[in-house]
Structure 1
Amino acid sequence: MSSTITIYLLSERTIGRYFQITALGSILNMLSLQLRDKVLRGLERGSLTLTPAEFDELAKNLTDFLKNYISSKALGIRLYAAGRGDANILRGIGITISKGLLTYGNLIDYYQSGLLIRNAITTTHLPILLRAYVFSRYRDYAEEGDVNGATLYLALTGAIISVIAGGIRLGENTYELYLVPDTSIDSIKDSYLLYELLHDPKIKNRIQDYLMTFLRVEGLSFELSILLSILLRIYDTFKIYGSLPSLRGGSFEKFKLIGVVTEQRPLIVWEKPLSITHILMRLYGSRALRILEYLYGIASNLPRLTTSVSKLPDVLSQCTLSLIAYMETGSLDMLTYCSGNAVRILSTLDELCVEGNTTSCNIKSVLASLLRDMAYSLVS
């Protein structure tokens, strides 16, 4: 084995670079002080030259993160068949792939089998998965390039850690969503806090679960559905630990949401900061996040009750948009309007509940709780 292993950072315009930063940031606080300093210096230079023991420490910590925080419900990453084929490239350096997806288990097995260390300096091609350019004007300049196994492993692990939704079908397109550091030093140092939040095994629902439900709400855009889903995930943390998560300087905006359309090749269609800090500051101590949870509860039952309560979808849509307006402005006017509309369908739900419609009983209970918390917000 070589006396050193060099990990090269991919082009700063590619999504693969963001994945590498994700992987390093998620375990930075777990590394020894000496290796942590070496990683930070390497990020400035664009490459990390490590001894085999240091590389093993880094890889072991990444494997432990995958074991401790990425569950069996975790999303697989779409691999692309264009060019040489991503799956063929990964199999060529010993990574087991099945059904065209890369999973966290594939990467755990790769390290534990010893194949990662054995292939750390082996040169291979860069998968299309990692070559997508964040800025569309550079799309035609993507180069294939060659990388070693260590460089590739770091980026693949970061992809698994940063994906928050996949297989989202909207119209003719299928989307994957990633949440990555903006590559600033603060974002790198805060990454472990964010990814422990996103992957906390104590929290049952994934962002993907929330997102699929909010996408049923008429009039709610894809971007707003993502925002609400992330807010609910943060609220789940609050319910377990009694406080909202706090990043360095309180800013979630140091992280980017990246949307990818999974065509024959990955196409990055948008990237934007995670702009929720101002919302969390406004909502801290209010009941708005609990109201949002009630709206999610109604939305999750919506398909089973739409025909019985025809106005329910409209009320749900109007109340959700009203809550968003309150989150953004602090104005209670829209909540008052929502409350009035919700009261009007409560009696219909009550009648259906008496007739034995269990779903109506569930939604009636949720709606009553929603109205109670709205009333508290309006008078407090």
Structure 2
Amino acid sequence: MSRSDQILSRLMALHPKIIDLSLDRMHRILAALGHPERKIPPVIHIAGTNGKGSTLAMIRAGLEAGGARVHAYTSPHLAFFHERIRLAGELIPEEMLAATLEECEAANDGQPITFFEITTAAAFLAFSRVPADYTLLEVGLGGRLDATNVITDPRLTVITPVSLDHQQYLGETVALIAAEKAGIIKPRVPVIVAPQSDEGLRVIEARAMGLTAPIIAYGQHWAIQPDRDGMVFQDEHGLWDLPLPNLIGPHQIQNAGTALAALRALGATEAQARAAVTRAEWPARMQRLTRGPLVDLAGQAELWLDGGHNPAGGEALAATLAALPPRPTHLVCGMLNTKDVSGYLRPLAAHAASLTAIDIPGEPNTLPASETARHATDSGIAATTAPDAATAIRALAAAEPQARILICGSLYLAGRVLRENG
């Protein structure tokens, strides 16, 4: 176990809850640290239900193509905690991570604080000490009371599509959830708005208008659509004729549009726009695995990985499968017990020949495989269970060597799979 892992395990014990939405503890620890959040490079703050990470990855690729140094903060991590904090494009080094975490631990002095809060404070501290041109900041949960929402003067805010997820924390309707996400909008700071439902858009627009924040919204101020073998982005400044995103799936065209609208607001060129959609990397979002022990088990079968986990994620995944060349598709699925499992699986029923349910290893909130299988059966997908992903892959590849095997249902499962696959 690395030094940072040892510190992180201690930090997990500082608060009885994983999630406790409030800004009081953040304000306290940041004051104790000398307010590093006031000393970081200009912030692009990104909230939303789906597409935050992909949108951030494309904005980062576009900015870096123009020569900018870019910090980035994302969550959760997949294989290693270091993935959450990028300093001027590079993952935070182990020695710096450990030292920064220890500094935050000492400043906190044993007081209650959630794991996400204290590690967000550590990210701000690291960002304040390494020169860069921009800081890309992804909200952890919600927006209004998220630990990242201590930034008072971002350069830009971005709200990706809002849908139902985390209702126990954010509210039972899209309007209530949109109100939480819109909490990142700041006075007179432009807000890029991705495609939204009518009820979500009304809430976001009302918040922006109340703060005199300029709105740059899909369908009103910018648009994007497929065109032949590429896509066209259009806004009041003109057209960008671009290739399709290298991130796979029809929903990535919308995410690309949101990223391009943000880049346009930051003064990016068409060359940067092209780099944004062709160079972005974001693992476990319909990622084809091409090497490693799990790929060896799959043999001739295709092996894919996706971390979507809510009904909108299920719909996006279904649209992606519909656009791929036809192959018998078998799901290996593990989910958390806090998710709308049936809502996630229903859109996939038309595209899945079977589902093998597994527990998420090492995850206390995993939904038992038998429950996932029951939901799958109720959704119209033939389902069975297996003890783990490797066993499921081996059995599916033996039964149908030319299959497409898709591991899905949770970012936590995706992280475990990436570690297991090396």
Bin the TM-score by the shorter chain.
Answer: under 0.3
Larger % of helix: which?
1
Bigger Cα Rg: 1
